[in-house]
Structure 1
Amino acid sequence: MPEALQEAIRTAKANIEAFHAAQVQAPLELEVLPGVHCSRRSVPIQRVGLYVPGGTLPYFLRC
Structure 2
Amino acid sequence: MSSGLINFLRDERTRLGWTQAELAERVGVSRKTINTVENGVFIPSTVLALKLAAAIGKPVEALFKLDEA
TM-score by length of 1: 0.21
- Between structures 1 and 2, the one with greater strand share: 1
Greater helix proportion: 2
> More relative contact order in 1 or in 2 (CA 8 Å, sep 6+)?
2
Return the index of the structure with the highest Cα Rg. Answer: 1
